[in-house]
Chain A
Amino acid sequence: MRGAPGTVSALTAALRNGALRLPEVIEPYLDRIRKRNDELGALLHVFDEGARSRARELQRRLDAGDWPGPLTGVPVAVKDNISLAGHPTTAGSRILKGFRPVYTATAVERLEASGAIVIGKANLDEFAMGSSNEYSAYGAARNPYDTGRVPGGSSGGCAAAIAGGLALGALGSDTGGSVRQPAAFCGLVALKPQYGSVSRYGLIAFGSSLDQIAPMARTARDCAALYNAIRGVDPHDATSREDGAPVDVEAWSQPPRDVRLGVPRSWLAAGLDADVRAGFDRCCARFAKLGARLVDVALPDPSWAVATYHILANAEASTNLARYDGVRYGPRAAGVASVDVLYAATRGAGFGPEVKRRILLGTYVLSAGYRAAYYARAARARLALRAAYAEVLQCVDALLMPTTPTPAFRLGEKLGDPLAMYLCDVFTIGANLTGWPAVAFPVGRNPAGLPLGAQLCGPLGGEDLLLGLVHRFDGGEPLPLPEG
């Protein structure tokens, strides 16, 4: 990979001016996948031949003077809970082993229409439920910066693919932080778009009021290019929305003199890793040097968001996952004599431990006698949290906070403690509950070499502001990839 363009923008520029030809671009990626994917567990399905023939097709168009689009030739990984017609789509679950969707997600269609090459489907925590990628039924993914550590989750395979040099960008999904937390652990930029900015058509549903398909890349400029390709209203998704002009990070080349960034100071107290804190302080100092004004703000205790989220997301998950019953798709339990036994046995054999936990939690909070105490109350708490966040945004333009309380943790470290795993998302969940956009970005590495991350969050319609600020911060330069 030495000497090959390390960003979307560098690659597309080299293809456009003829300095590179597409087969030369794709082969090193396929070669690297062959060498490293077994170790990293990043991709569950690799499209070697598909990627090669697509590269040839795109090169023919380039040779004919055509420019297919702003992502021409960019090798992209797609999380395996996003549908590609005719290709395996497992959502990281045994219950969808062998499933091949009959239609393609709108976001993937748009990505391909912009010239991108889907190089493979990426590993994930089963049904995107998890923060370490260890809950995948097809094996854990590993962090390229330290393969004894997790890449984060649930879009851990996407993050490992980019940081491992197997792809230049990825489409993940973010229900509670599932692209931002892996971005923090693997030194990447990831945008959780505002709810509705990207069509969810073709995304396997987890928490439908929170889910968003979300781009990941190495710089804000690259992340913006992916986002611009997939955003916008889609007749197949009634919650999708048109959100004005595309993001233009170049328009943010001037220092953000008048921008006020709110820092929820009380969140930085107990439980925050010292390296994460030091990285965040450096990030604040750099934004101040760039001309932003940093203002302390008071946000509700983050534990409230975690509790609210896990009631609402799991209630929605238990409902959404009712469709996996061994009748229409996936494997079916053998030798059963009645439909009720068929459902329960198929689901019992098909779902892993975290998915079972969440289905039962969701069932509990929706069940007669407990719905008012849990689900209805969490729905009200979400409105209260939204109001509290909106109030803070009357005084500042966006919020700045660490993405995660710690850098990447060791494989197995949190597997025995589901609550500890949930608290990995303590800073990211707010953007899902409010529907706000949020961008995670790298702010350097700790002394052990692990990436550290920070996050900008809000306001509604603020994707341009957030990515523009991160572009000012990274200057178009990615965090160096790890050796390997």
Chain B
Amino acid sequence: MSRERSEDAPLSAEEIGHLCRLARLDVTPEERAALRCDIGCILAYMACLDEVETEIAPPDPPPPPSRLREDEPRAGISREDALRNAPAHDGKHFCVPAVVRRPLKRGEGT
């Protein structure tokens, strides 16, 4: 990955591309240029965090605030409701483009 950076854009174009792949997010070339600039500026601002740790020491983290309810069986949403908003379904499943190809049967594809 290229580490070449301009002063205004501490992220390289390749790094933005990598982030888009990690986030499963298409961006246009124009968006990519703007994002590179904006994210660079925002990350530069975040450098002020350097001062926090030197000036105030963090205490031990507290226990998480959540509490769990009793584990009791109860009805969830119905299959019909779960599928209600899906852009493609067959009445039982969400439909997506094929993920795993059907294995070839003997004699097929020859």
**Residues of A bordering B, CB below 8 Å:** 98-100, 102-103, 195-196, 235, 238-239, 241, 300-301, 303-304, 306-308, 310-311, 318, 322, 325-332, 336-345, 347-349, 351, 353, 356-357, 359-361, 363-364, 367, 374, 377-381, 383-385, 387-388, 418-419, 422
Contacts and interface: CB of A to CB of B under 8 A. Distances in A.
B18 to A, nearest CB: 8
Interface of B: 11, 16, 19-27, 31, 34-35, 38-39, 41-43, 45-49, 51-53, 55-59, 61-62, 65-69, 77, 81-82, 84-88, 94, 96-99
Contacts of B97: 336-339, 341-342
Contacts of A419: 38, 41-42, 45
Given A326-B87, A383-B61, A361 B42 contact: yes
A388 B53 CA distance: 12
B26 to A, nearest CB: 3
B94 A327 contact: yes
Nearest to A85: B81
B35 A385 contact: no
A344 B42 contact: no
B68 to A, nearest CB: 6
A68 to B, nearest CB: 28
Contacts of A351: 25
B58 A329 contact: no
Given A103-B77, A306-B45, A330-B85, A195 B22 contact: no
Contact of B77 (A100, A102, A241): A102
A311 B46 contact: yes
A384 B22 contact: no
A304 B49 contact: yes
B56 A387 contact: yes
Given A102-B84, A357-B38, A374 B24 contact: no
Contact of A384 (B20, B35, B53, B68): B53
Report the 5 A-B pairs with minimum CB-CB distance, sorted nearest first: A348-B26, A329-B85, A332-B87, A238-B66, A384-B58
Contacts of A329: 85-87
26 contacts: A100-B85, A102-B81, A102-B82, A102-B84, A102-B85, A238-B69, A239-B65, A306-B45, A307-B46, A311-B49, A327-B96, A328-B94, A331-B87, A332-B88, A339-B96, A339-B99, A347-B23, A347-B25, A353-B34, A359-B25, A367-B22, A384-B56, A384-B57, A385-B52, A419-B42, A419-B45
Contact of A364 (B43, B47, B65, B99): B43
A380 B26 CA distance: 33
A354 B98 CA distance: 32
B90 to A, nearest CB: 13
B94 A383 contact: no
A336 B11 CA distance: 30
Contacts of B87: 326-327, 329-332
A231 B38 CA distance: 38
B21 to A, nearest CB: 8
Contact of B58 (A311, A345, A353, A381): A381
Nearest to B69: A235
B39 A361 contact: yes
Nearest to A379: B61
